[in-house]
A and B are shown apart, each in its own frame.
Chain A
Protein backbone atom coordinates (compact mmCIF):
# COMPACT_ATOMS: atom_id res chain seq x y z
CA UNK A 1 0.00 0.00 0.00
CA UNK A 2 1.39 3.37 -1.01
CA UNK A 3 -0.65 5.41 1.51
CA UNK A 4 0.31 9.09 1.37
CA UNK A 5 3.05 9.95 -1.11
CA UNK A 6 4.88 13.28 -1.16
CA UNK A 7 7.31 14.63 -3.71
CA UNK A 8 9.97 15.92 -3.76
CA UNK A 9 11.69 14.58 -0.66
CA UNK A 10 14.34 17.31 -0.65
CA UNK A 11 14.47 20.69 -2.35
CA UNK A 12 16.60 23.80 -2.15
CA UNK A 13 14.93 27.00 -3.32
CA UNK A 14 16.30 30.47 -3.79
CA UNK A 15 14.52 33.40 -2.20
CA UNK A 16 11.67 34.54 -4.42
CA UNK A 17 11.32 31.28 -6.33
CA UNK A 18 8.10 29.33 -6.39
CA UNK A 19 7.43 25.63 -6.23
CA UNK A 20 4.73 23.05 -5.66
CA UNK A 21 4.91 20.19 -3.20
CA UNK A 22 2.92 17.28 -4.53
CA UNK A 23 0.80 14.98 -2.36
CA UNK A 24 -1.32 12.04 -3.37
CA UNK A 25 -3.14 9.38 -1.37
CA UNK A 26 -4.64 6.10 -2.53
CA UNK A 27 -6.95 5.43 0.43
CA UNK A 28 -9.96 7.33 -0.95
CA UNK A 29 -9.82 9.68 2.04
CA UNK A 30 -11.93 12.80 1.96
CA UNK A 31 -9.77 14.77 4.40
CA UNK A 32 -6.30 15.94 3.51
CA UNK A 33 -3.86 18.20 5.35
CA UNK A 34 -0.58 20.04 5.00
CA UNK A 35 1.57 20.61 8.08
CA UNK A 36 4.94 22.20 8.54
CA UNK A 37 7.43 21.41 11.26
CA UNK A 38 10.31 23.69 12.14
CA UNK A 39 13.36 22.22 13.91
CA UNK A 40 12.55 21.13 17.46
CA UNK A 41 8.96 22.27 17.18
CA UNK A 42 5.58 20.64 16.81
CA UNK A 43 3.36 20.38 13.76
CA UNK A 44 1.57 23.44 12.50
CA UNK A 45 -1.44 23.11 10.20
CA UNK A 46 -1.08 25.11 6.98
CA UNK A 47 -4.20 24.19 5.00
CA UNK A 48 -6.70 21.40 5.01
CA UNK A 49 -9.44 20.04 2.76
CA UNK A 50 -12.58 18.09 3.57
CA UNK A 51 -13.20 17.03 -0.02
CA UNK A 52 -12.56 17.79 -3.66
CA UNK A 53 -13.10 21.46 -4.37
CA UNK A 54 -13.10 22.46 -0.69
CA UNK A 55 -10.08 23.93 1.10
CA UNK A 56 -9.63 26.00 4.23
CA UNK A 57 -6.88 27.78 6.12
CA UNK A 58 -5.15 26.27 9.08
CA UNK A 59 -2.92 27.92 11.68
CA UNK A 60 -0.15 29.22 9.39
CA UNK A 61 -1.48 29.72 5.83
CA UNK A 62 0.40 32.87 4.84
CA UNK A 63 2.73 32.37 1.89
CA UNK A 64 1.03 29.18 0.71
CA UNK A 65 -1.80 28.14 -1.56
CA UNK A 66 -3.55 24.84 -2.11
CA UNK A 67 -6.04 23.27 -4.46
CA UNK A 68 -8.04 20.06 -4.37
CA UNK A 69 -9.34 19.16 -7.79
CA UNK A 70 -9.48 15.42 -7.10
CA UNK A 71 -9.94 13.25 -4.02
CA UNK A 72 -6.43 11.83 -4.42
CA UNK A 73 -4.31 14.96 -4.85
CA UNK A 74 -3.64 17.96 -2.62
CA UNK A 75 -0.71 20.05 -3.89
CA UNK A 76 0.82 22.84 -1.80
CA UNK A 77 2.10 25.88 -3.66
CA UNK A 78 4.79 28.17 -2.28
CA UNK A 79 4.86 31.57 -3.96
CA UNK A 80 7.85 33.87 -3.53
CA UNK A 81 9.78 31.57 -1.19
CA UNK A 82 11.26 33.14 1.94
CA UNK A 83 13.87 31.81 4.41
CA UNK A 84 11.09 31.54 7.02
CA UNK A 85 9.56 28.78 4.90
CA UNK A 86 12.57 26.54 5.47
CA UNK A 87 10.93 23.60 7.17
CA UNK A 88 9.82 19.99 6.86
CA UNK A 89 6.42 19.65 5.24
CA UNK A 90 4.08 16.76 5.92
CA UNK A 91 1.03 15.87 3.92
CA UNK A 92 -1.62 13.73 5.61
CA UNK A 93 -5.03 12.27 5.01
CA UNK A 94 -7.90 10.72 6.95
CA UNK A 95 -11.35 9.35 6.40
CA UNK A 96 -14.51 10.87 7.80
CA UNK A 97 -15.67 7.62 9.34
CA UNK A 98 -17.86 7.91 12.41
CA UNK A 99 -15.95 5.10 14.09
CA UNK A 100 -12.83 7.21 14.35
CA UNK A 101 -10.61 8.71 11.70
CA UNK A 102 -6.91 8.07 12.02
CA UNK A 103 -4.61 10.53 10.27
CA UNK A 104 -2.02 8.98 7.97
CA UNK A 105 1.11 10.97 7.23
CA UNK A 106 3.52 11.03 4.34
CA UNK A 107 7.26 10.77 4.87
CA UNK A 108 7.86 14.50 4.64
CA UNK A 109 9.46 16.97 2.26
CA UNK A 110 12.55 18.85 3.42
CA UNK A 111 12.63 22.38 1.99
CA UNK A 112 15.48 24.84 2.37
CA UNK A 113 15.15 28.43 1.16
CA UNK A 114 18.46 30.25 0.68
Chain B
Protein backbone atom coordinates (compact mmCIF):
# COMPACT_ATOMS: atom_id res chain seq x y z
CA UNK B 1 0.00 0.00 0.00
CA UNK B 2 1.19 3.50 -0.79
CA UNK B 3 1.91 5.77 2.13
CA UNK B 4 -0.07 8.93 2.72
CA UNK B 5 0.81 12.27 4.29
CA UNK B 6 -1.74 14.37 6.17
CA UNK B 7 -1.42 17.48 8.33
CA UNK B 8 -1.61 16.54 12.00
CA UNK B 9 -4.37 19.00 12.85
CA UNK B 10 -6.79 21.52 11.36
CA UNK B 11 -9.47 23.85 12.66
CA UNK B 12 -12.72 24.79 10.97
CA UNK B 13 -15.55 27.15 11.89
CA UNK B 14 -18.95 25.58 12.36
CA UNK B 15 -21.05 25.88 9.19
CA UNK B 16 -18.06 26.40 6.95
CA UNK B 17 -16.56 23.86 4.59
CA UNK B 18 -13.74 21.73 5.95
CA UNK B 19 -11.12 20.81 3.37
CA UNK B 20 -8.78 18.05 4.48
CA UNK B 21 -5.77 17.37 2.24
CA UNK B 22 -3.91 14.13 1.69
CA UNK B 23 -0.77 13.45 -0.32
CA UNK B 24 -0.23 10.00 -1.84
CA UNK B 25 2.48 10.62 -4.43
CA UNK B 26 3.42 6.92 -4.77
CA UNK B 27 -0.11 5.68 -5.43
CA UNK B 28 -0.38 2.85 -7.94
CA UNK B 29 -2.90 2.62 -10.75
CA UNK B 30 -5.02 0.00 -9.03
CA UNK B 31 -5.15 1.71 -5.64
CA UNK B 32 -8.21 3.48 -4.37
CA UNK B 33 -8.20 6.47 -2.03
CA UNK B 34 -10.27 5.87 1.10
CA UNK B 35 -11.26 8.24 3.87
CA UNK B 36 -12.30 7.18 7.35
CA UNK B 37 -13.00 9.10 10.51
CA UNK B 38 -12.72 8.22 14.16
CA UNK B 39 -14.80 10.02 16.75
CA UNK B 40 -13.36 9.86 20.28
CA UNK B 41 -12.14 6.30 20.73
CA UNK B 42 -14.79 4.59 18.64
CA UNK B 43 -13.86 2.31 15.76
CA UNK B 44 -13.08 4.26 12.57
CA UNK B 45 -15.97 4.64 10.16
CA UNK B 46 -15.91 4.72 6.39
CA UNK B 47 -16.68 8.06 4.75
CA UNK B 48 -15.98 7.83 1.03
CA UNK B 49 -13.61 6.36 -1.53
CA UNK B 50 -12.59 6.91 -5.14
CA UNK B 51 -10.24 5.74 -7.85
CA UNK B 52 -9.75 8.74 -10.13
CA UNK B 53 -13.05 10.53 -10.49
CA UNK B 54 -14.43 12.94 -7.94
CA UNK B 55 -17.01 11.35 -5.68
CA UNK B 56 -19.83 12.68 -3.52
CA UNK B 57 -22.12 11.05 -1.02
CA UNK B 58 -24.36 12.23 1.78
CA UNK B 59 -21.42 12.75 4.11
CA UNK B 60 -18.70 14.33 2.01
CA UNK B 61 -17.06 14.97 -1.33
CA UNK B 62 -13.74 13.58 -2.49
CA UNK B 63 -11.62 15.49 -4.98
CA UNK B 64 -8.73 13.56 -6.54
CA UNK B 65 -6.16 15.42 -8.63
CA UNK B 66 -5.71 14.37 -12.22
CA UNK B 67 -2.31 12.82 -11.52
CA UNK B 68 -3.87 11.07 -8.47
CA UNK B 69 -0.98 12.13 -6.25
CA UNK B 70 -3.19 14.01 -3.84
CA UNK B 71 -6.79 14.31 -2.76
CA UNK B 72 -9.04 16.50 -0.64
CA UNK B 73 -11.93 15.46 1.54
CA UNK B 74 -14.59 18.15 1.74
CA UNK B 75 -17.17 18.34 4.51
CA UNK B 76 -19.44 21.03 3.00
CA UNK B 77 -21.04 22.38 6.19
CA UNK B 78 -19.01 21.26 9.18
CA UNK B 79 -20.80 20.77 12.48
CA UNK B 80 -19.42 20.27 15.97
CA UNK B 81 -20.12 16.56 15.58
CA UNK B 82 -17.60 16.43 12.72
CA UNK B 83 -14.79 16.96 15.23
CA UNK B 84 -12.78 13.75 14.81
CA UNK B 85 -9.58 12.22 13.47
CA UNK B 86 -9.72 11.76 9.70
CA UNK B 87 -7.63 9.08 8.04
CA UNK B 88 -6.70 8.96 4.38
CA UNK B 89 -5.42 5.59 3.13
CA UNK B 90 -4.75 4.09 -0.27
CA UNK B 91 -5.20 0.43 -0.99
CA UNK B 92 -5.73 -1.90 -3.90
CA UNK B 93 -8.92 -3.92 -4.06
CA UNK B 94 -7.03 -7.16 -3.51
CA UNK B 95 -4.63 -5.77 -0.91
CA UNK B 96 -4.63 -7.63 2.35
CA UNK B 97 -2.28 -5.44 4.32
CA UNK B 98 -3.87 -2.08 5.09
CA UNK B 99 -2.06 0.49 7.19
CA UNK B 100 -3.30 3.77 8.63
CA UNK B 101 -1.17 6.74 9.49
CA UNK B 102 -1.81 9.21 12.29
CA UNK B 103 -4.54 11.08 10.41
CA UNK B 104 -5.66 14.68 10.75
CA UNK B 105 -7.40 15.84 13.90
CA UNK B 106 -10.17 18.19 12.76
CA UNK B 107 -11.60 20.50 15.38
CA UNK B 108 -14.80 22.27 14.45
CA UNK B 109 -15.25 25.42 16.51
CA UNK B 110 -18.47 27.34 17.24
Q: List residues of A whose CB falls within 8 A of some B CB.
A: 4, 31, 33, 35, 37, 41-45, 48-50, 56, 58-59, 88, 90, 92, 94, 96-108
Contacts and interface: CB of A to CB of B under 8 A. Distances in A.
Contact of B41 (A33, A56, A58, A108): A108
Nearest to A103: B98
Majority secondary structure of chain B interface residues (helix, strand, loop or mixed): loop
A106 B93 contact: no
B32 A100 contact: yes
A88 B43 CA distance: 10
A50 B94 CA distance: 9
Contacts of A49: 96
Contacts of B81: none
Instruction: Kindly name the residue among A35, A48, A101, A107 whose own CB sees the greatest number of chain B CB atoms within 10 A.
Output: A101
Given A90-B43, A104-B46, A99 B93 contact: yes
A88 B41 contact: yes
B92 to A, nearest CB: 9
Given A97-B93, A98-B93, A43 B87 contact: yes
Contacts of A48: 96-98
B97 A42 contact: no
B75 to A, nearest CB: 19
B46 A102 contact: yes
7 contacts: A31-B98, A37-B41, A43-B44, A43-B99, A48-B98, A58-B99, A90-B43
Contacts of B93: 96-101
B99 A45 contact: yes
Nearest to B92: A101
